[in-house]
Structure 1
Amino acid sequence: MGEKVGMASKLLERFLLVLVVLVATTQAAADGHKSAGGARRRATAEPPVPITILTSAVEKGAVCLDGSPPAYHLDRGSGSGRNSWIVNLEGGGWCDSVLSCGWRKGGYLGSSLHMDKPMFFGGIMSASAVDNPDFYNWNRVMVRYCDGGSFAGEGLDRATGVCFRGQRIWDAAVRHLLSIGMASADRALLTGCSAGGLAAMLHCDQFSAFFAGKNTTVKCLADAGLFLDAVDVSGGRSLRSYFQGVVATHGVAQNLPSSCTGHLDATSCFFPQNIIGNIKTPIFLLNAAYDTWQLRESLAPNGADHNGAWRACKLNRTACNESQLTFLRSFRDQMVATVKDFSGSRSNGLFINSCFIHGQSEMWATWNAPGSPAIGNKGIGKSVGDWYFGRAQVKAIDCPYPCDNTCHHDI
């Protein structure tokens, strides 16, 4: 009897832990959406871009977690950008169990039924020639994120009906875009932020393959997607444990690069550090060396910060003591070491600044606004444009915090 009670207690504890993590993650994603809204747009906002529900994808099994159709937003290009395309894979965390994915399907990150119908674009997605001079008149697409597995899953939980169809959503969305004009593109750029940034890395060569045999310049941009397999403050590996659940729940292994899974386990191959070296398509990595999501959820999550010593530091960098800053600088050193070989390729680009932030390409304030982040007097938007159009090589790595006074830090 005692064993049964103990087991029940453990199951309840596990359920409550998952629920707390899910609520916190969903709220963080929602807060990110809301807070980015002001920074994403100038005071005189551009018109919102309407949603398109891709109902034809359902017959291919390409559905959100709840079985609803996937969706995207498209702002058509014009003039010199009429035959150029940006495909942006939306981010928003992950779900790492059938239970957490079941909860997630009740919101916009798991169902097109709950998505905002119009969406405001900003940063690299902006239609303003002033704010986004290199890409403003391209066809700009935001593929909505509703699978919880970085567009890479393949599976179905028959008991609950939760669908893990990220790979099918990816394939259906790209094929649809090809059918409505992207097939004749002169230029194409696959991009994404956070979980979408990871998705951009996982799918970069797949995206390029859709244009095989065509005279299309194809490149990829991953923003805030350089998630590291790092040791947390308790000596464990919190993010590896979390990713292990994501990979297993979504059946991601079959869709990971074989160049990695041939010698490493599937969870390792969900970490960008183990796949970026084998991406053949030119790719640009944009990341903060002190990524705030990784600080909160990987380096010092509540489960590893047993006495709450990191609570204040996670909320505001100015509350970090010297010991904590030393720990964070070692994380930066790991990130810099991770991209060392990657940066040796002439075709790749790099911008790692010493800022406490998560995601910088989709917001007006950090992309190309006056006073936006810069390394060597060159901002993010200019750096990405120079790299994409071959105007200059960009291999920018900032000096350690707190040397950069151009940062826009999360608080």
Structure 2
Amino acid sequence: MLYSAVPKGAVCLDGTPPAYAYSKGFGDGSTNWVVLLEGGRWCDLEEETCQNRSKTYYGSTDHEFPIDGILFKGILDSNSQANPDFYDWHKVFVHYCDGSLFLSDVDQVDPTNSLTFRGGRIYNAIMEELLNKGMGIAHNAILTGFSAGGLSTILHCDRFRALFSNTTRVKCVSDSGFFIRGEGELANQSERHFAGAIAANELRALLPRSCTSKRDPNLCLFAEYLVEDVATPLFIAESAFDSFQIGYNFILTIPGLDPIQWRNCSRFLEECNATQIEIIKDFGPIFKKTLMKLDNSSSRGVFLDSCYLHTHIFQSYNWIKYPVLDNKSVGKAIGDWFYDRSAFQEIDALNLCPQSCYPK
């Protein structure tokens, strides 16, 4: 728990202190840092989502936050075989307990439900804490995150870079945070969700000016309108058949489909019937088209596989073993890109159907 953040008003939705877990670097990695922002959706204007969130792990640290029990895996693994490029770094897991992508900064406590919207203050307080631990003199540093934490990484990437001197190699890795707008009814559904999050957390004035100066602010949580304005080198790890985006937005655009019937199919492809697989298959081209519209920045890494999954970097199997593009796992691709051993921009164009990428 970071109790020193409370006087600064940097608290979770329910007013409890924020928290992070930390593993000290060693050996050659003792001057390197990787900071991971946890994922976990967001809260919006749908009935009581913020209030309900405040009573759970994702809105509080009163709900059994396992500060000493966070399993450091994937990019945070301390095993040199499982994580050869980053195993000995200082590693930080930042708990996500605000529901605003670490952005909100509302002075007034919600008088109806006693909710505090202070995600931006949490981010600032934890960064200040890490700088006091020595992160500011790092030789190498990575800001990363998965799911909502991946989108938070895109939003905070340049601010993270600004914490260091020009001699520090700083890069960002967004995993499964590229939430697309899509087209037609998918766009309408996606826009409703993000517009609700922006309104509920009072984010409108806090969104990147580089985006809001050019378009409707309600579009400025879609990664496709953000990443080209990120100056810091950024790696995008994604699946064209992102299981969360399909289950959270895409299936809601299918006439007559009951979301409850999707539950068995929501994670494992083997539990999907033929009709559901066809629906999943339809999402892939939309995602690929969106990502391929981006400019070909030489500093940007891309790993777009065809797995039916959501998140890579905090999953031991998906980090170092499978999927593989150009003979590299996502962990190997990110390591080569970070250390400038080789560029990596690979999109799986061969698999037009979703693939099962979990251990058998």
Report the TM-score, using the length of structure 1 for normalisation: 0.80
Q: Does 1:277 align with 2:225?
A: no
Cα pair 1:61 1:168 within 8 Å, conserved = yes
- Please state how far the C-alpha of 1:334 moved relative to its aligned partner: 3.0
Cα pair 2:301 2:345 within 8 Å, conserved = yes
Corresponding residue for 1:104? 53
2-structure distance, mates of 1:226, 1:345: 16
2-structure distance, mates of 1:107, 1:287: 27
Corresponding residue for 1:178? 131
Matched residue SS, 2:217: coil
Q: Which of these residues, 64, 88, 99, is aligned with residue 12 of structure 2?
A: 64
C-alpha distance after superposition, 1:4-23 (max 9, x if no partner): xxxxxxxxxxxxxxxxxxxx
Corresponding residue for 1:347? 299
1:124 alignment partner AA: I
Matched residue SS, 1:112: coil
Q: Does 1:298 align with 2:249?
A: yes
Q: Which of these residues, 366, 373, 379, is aligned with residue 323 of structure 2?
A: 373
2-structure distance, mates of 1:168, 1:223: 23
Corresponding residue for 2:77? 126
- Please state how far the C-alpha of 1:239 moved relative to its aligned partner: 2.4
- Please state how far the C-alpha of 1:304 moved relative to its aligned partner: 5.2
1:136 alignment partner AA: Y
Q: How does 1:166-245 map to 2 (within 5 A)?
A: 166-211=119-164, 213-231=165-183, 237-245=188-196
1:90 alignment partner AA: E
2-structure distance, mates of 1:204, 1:235: 28
Q: Does 1:384 align with 2:334?
A: yes
C-alpha distance after superposition, 1:136-165 (max 9, x if no partner): 000000010000111111224233220110
2-structure distance, mates of 1:67, 1:117: 18
Cα pair 2:20 2:67 within 8 Å, conserved = no
1:103 alignment partner AA: N
2-structure distance, mates of 1:297, 1:308: 12
Corresponding residue for 1:408? 357
1:255 alignment partner AA: L
2:168 alignment partner AA: T
Matched length: 352
Q: How does 1:82-97 map to 2 (within 5 A)?
A: 82-97=30-45
Corresponding residue for 2:2? 54
Q: Does 1:116 align with 2:69?
A: no
Compared CA separation, residues 89 and 100, structure 1 to 2 (3 A): same
Matched residue SS, 2:332: helix
Q: Does 1:251 align with 2:199?
A: no
2-structure distance, mates of 1:344, 1:351: 13
- Please state how far the C-alpha of 1:315 moved relative to its aligned partner: 5.8
1:388 alignment partner AA: F
- Please state how far the C-alpha of 1:373 moved relative to its aligned partner: 1.1
2-structure distance, mates of 1:295, 1:400: 20
- Please state how far the C-alpha of 1:59 moved relative to its aligned partner: 1.2
1-structure distance, mates of 2:237, 2:31: 25
2-structure distance, mates of 1:237, 1:141: 36
2-structure distance, mates of 1:380, 1:277: 22
Q: Which of these residues, 91, 102, 106, is aligned with residue 151 of structure 1?
A: 102
RMSD of aligned alpha carbons: 2.4
Q: Structure 2: which 5+ runs fail to align?
A: none
1-structure distance, mates of 2:215, 2:80: 45
Matched residue SS, 2:84: coil
- Please state how far the C-alpha of 1:314 moved relative to its aligned partner: 4.6
2:158 alignment partner AA: D
Corresponding residue for 1:38? none
1-structure distance, mates of 2:157, 2:110: 28
Corresponding residue for 1:75? 23
- Please state how far the C-alpha of 1:409 moved relative to its aligned partner: 4.7
C-alpha distance after superposition, 1:89-129 (max 9, x if no partner): 00111111382211111111111121123211100010000
1:153 alignment partner AA: S
Identical-residue share of aligned pairs (%): 36
Cα pair 1:230 1:331 within 8 Å, conserved = no
Corresponding residue for 2:114? 161
2-structure distance, mates of 1:307, 1:269: 29
Cα pair 1:95 1:149 within 8 Å, conserved = yes
Cα pair 1:398 1:404 within 8 Å, conserved = no
Cα pair 1:292 1:410 within 8 Å, conserved = no
Matched residue SS, 2:21: strand
- Please state how far the C-alpha of 1:331 moved relative to its aligned partner: 3.2
- Please state how far the C-alpha of 1:308 moved relative to its aligned partner: 3.2
- Please state how far the C-alpha of 1:170 moved relative to its aligned partner: 0.7
C-alpha distance after superposition, 1:314-356 (max 9, x if no partner): 565464547963x645533333333335451111100000010
Report the TM-score, using the length of structure 2 for normalisation: 0.91
Q: Structure 1: which 5+ runs fail to align?
A: 1-52
Matched residue SS, 1:189: strand
